[in-house]
Structure formats: structure tokens, C-alpha cells
Structure 1
């Protein structure tokens, strides 16, 4: 074999090795999801040098009644992998139907994946009983055990929205609860890994992609 042919063969064999090393070095960081809701910055000394580390908020546990009448906890929602949280009310005439129609897309995309769940919290618990939520859930084809419409104590729901997910409160309608277009992606540790405008198709497309990225990181830590 001629020297030129040996050199060419060597280059051909070297290309996939270099590609693998490049992807291994840079591919993971390229698709890493951010973490939202910082709580504080801790400082610690490592090898004589001070390092700063951001500590992020974790959504505290909660318990509310689903459309089936069963009690559902935050720990259950994230036990299989992750959940998408939203805040709505059934008599909302505009944004809520558009938001829930987008969530139908998310449900259908991950219909067969038990690691992905959806949690829609009512901001009008006085009207939105479990029975009302059951009828509402039927309109969107919510899959039992997959998409939970949740109601309960008004104070607990308000605390979840404003203190845990850090949504602004509103007194405009005589309620401290706020309806929001924001969707939240919550991982298995309770950290918020994504925020999206739930009535924008492009944002929901990004949500779907980032759910897939998060699931991939579970499979390939």
C-alpha cells in the first residue's frame, strides 16, 4: 500500500474518533437545561479558594383533590420523572381554553410515557369542585392518571402559586389567586427547569423539546 493511501486511510479512521470526542466534550453542555427560581448564593472554601454556588428553590410538597376525587400530592406527580404545572379556572373565557388546548398537544406527545404528567391547578376553588373539574377535563380528553385537574383549600392553592411557583398575586377579582399563561416544567427533584408562555405554539414546542431533553438526562446521567 502506498504511503498516500495509508495516510488517507488513517484520516478516514480518525474522523469518527475526533467527532466522538467533540460531541462528548461539548454536546452535553449544549443541551443542558437551566434551573429557575434561585433562593440564595452559598459560599464555600475549596482548596483555599472561595467558590460561590447558587441554591435553587424546590417546589414544596402539597396535596389537592383531583377531578376523580382522589388526593394527589406533589411527590406523586414527580415520582415517575417530571410534571408540567399550570394555573387556570374553568369559567375563564379566553386564555385558559387556549392554554389547555396546547396542553392537549403535550399530553398526546407523551401519551405512552408514564414519566410525564400534567397538573392544572384551579385558581377558583370556590366554584371549581372536583365534579366541575371532571366535566371540564372531559372536554380536553384528559387521560386518568396522566393529566390532573386539581382543587382544594384556597389558602393552600394561593401559597402554592405565589410562594412556591412565585406567581404574582391579584386582588382584581376579589381573590388572592392568580390565573397565569405560564407553564412550568418541574423535574423529579422539585426544581423548575423551564417556564413557557402556554398560549404560544412556539413556546409549547420548546416545552416538548425540553421535556425530551430532561428525560434523556435521566437515562444518560
Structure 2
């Protein structure tokens, strides 16, 4: 074989290998999702040198009642990931818009059991189980897929302000906490994405990043 032909063949064989190495090295980092809600920065000594490492908030426990009357805890959600939101049934504008877009998320991952939606009411005095049952029906919530949750007012207030760190309403007494944000929560109960739930572009980004996280579970860390 002539030297030029040998060189050309070598280059042709080398290109796919280099492309694979490039994608393997840089592709994963490019699409890695950030983690939100830092708690603190710890310092650890590695090889005689101090390294700083951010510790991110892990969402705490709750026990709330769904639109079906069933009690729901984080254990019911730990098998995969979920999209969390806050709403109230009498909200006239942002909540219907947000829940309408969440219908698209539910439909996109209808057959993916690891993806769930969790909507916490911030007005439990009004939003009883019966109210939430009717409300969930308006949005075609699939049983066991999309949970509308109500319960103790203090517990819901703590969840919103201390766990998801939403701004507390003004005034001394706990009041109505409202947010248009959607939170992508991973199987370790850490927030991996925050989105404006009233904007279609943001919800499309949420759908993409859910797929990224599922891909990560399937390919880079298949075990818990």
C-alpha cells in the first residue's frame, strides 16, 4: 500500500475515535445540570491541601393529603424525579396558566413512571380534598402521576419558605405564599432546576432537562 493511502486510511480510522473521546470527555459536562439551594460550604483536606465543597439543600419530609384522599410522603416520590409547584385553586391568572403548561409535561412523560408532578396548595383553608379532586380533574391529572396536595397550614408554609426558600409574605403571621416557579427535584431530593411555570419556553427547557436527568440515571449512574 502506498504511503499516502496508508496515511489516509489511518486518518479515517482515527477520526471516529477522536470524536468519541471528545463527546465522552466534553459532552457529559456540557449537559450536566446544576444543583440549586446551597446550604453551606465545607472544607476538607485532600492530599495535604484544603478543598472547598458546596453542600446543597436536601428537601425535608412532609406528609400531606392528595386529591384522592391518600396520604403522600417523599417516599412515594424517591424512585425518580418530580416537578414541584405551589398554587391555590382560586388563583385567577398565573396558576391556570402554569397548570395548563404542566399538562404538557405530564403528557410528555405519561409512560415514564419515574417522572411525577407535585402541586402544593398554599391555601389549605379553602383547598380541601374535595376541592382539589375537582381541580385536578380540570387538568386531567393522572392518578399516581400528578399529586395535588393539601394539609396543615403551618407544614405547607414551612415547606414553601424553608425547604423551597420562597420569599415569606410580609407580616408577622404566616400568610399566603405564592410563586410561579417550577422546581425539578431529583431522586436525592435536591433541586436541579428552577423555571418560570407561566412561560412555554421555560417549560420546554424543563422538559429537556428532565430528559437529561433521566439519561444520566440510565447511562452514568444506573444504580441508586
> Does TM-score exceed 0.5, indicating one fold?
yes
- 1:34-65 deviations in Å (ceiling 9; x for gaps): 00000000001111101000000000011100
Q: Is the partner of 1:29 in helix, strand or coil? A: helix
Deviations 1:135-163 (A, max 9, x none): 00000000000000000000000000000
Structure 1 counterpart of 2:185: 186
Per the alignment, residue 46 of structure 1 pairs with: 46
Report what 1:133 is aligned to: 132
Residue 68 (structure 2) aligns with: 68
User: Which string of whole-angstrom CA distances, capped at 9 and with x for unpartnered residues, describes residues 158-197 of structure 1?
Assistant: 000000000011148x852311100000000010000000
* 2:118/2:147 contact within 8 Å kept: yes
The 8 Å contact of residues 84 and 185 in structure 2, kept in 1 or not, is answered as yes
Alignment TM-score, normalising by the size of structure 2? 0.95
> In 2 relative to 1, CA 51–133 (structure 1 residues): closer, same or farther, beyond 3 Å?
same
User: Are residue 23 (structure 1) and residue 2 (structure 2) matched?
Assistant: no
Under a length normalisation based on structure 1, what TM-score does the superposition of the two structures give? 0.97
- DSSP-derived class of the 2:203 partner: helix
Deviations 1:53-100 (Å, cap 9, x if unpaired)? 0000000011100000000002212x2210000000000000000000
Q: Is the 8 A contact 1:39 1:56 kept in 2?
A: yes
1:12 and 2:12 matched: yes
What is the aligned partner in structure 1 of residue 144 from structure 2?
145
Q: Distance in 2 between matches of 1:93 and 1:143?
A: 23
Q: Which residue of 2 aligns with 1:161?
A: 160
**1:93 aligns to what?**
92
CA RMSD of aligned residues (A): 1.1
In structure 2, what is the Cα distance between the partners aligned to 1:56 and 1:35? 7
Contact 1:87 1:121 (C-alpha < 8 Å) held by counterparts: yes
- Asked whether the 8 Å contact 2:157–2:174 carries over to 1, the reply is no
| Aligned positions, number | 219
Contact kept, 8 Å, 1:157 with 1:177, in 2: the verdict is no
1:33 aligned residue: 33
Question: Runs of 4+ in structure 1 displaced over 4 angstroms?
Answer: none
The whole-number CA distance in structure 2 between the counterparts of 1:216 and 1:175 is: 40
Aligned match of 2:83: 84
Secondary structure at the aligned position of 2:135 is classed as: helix
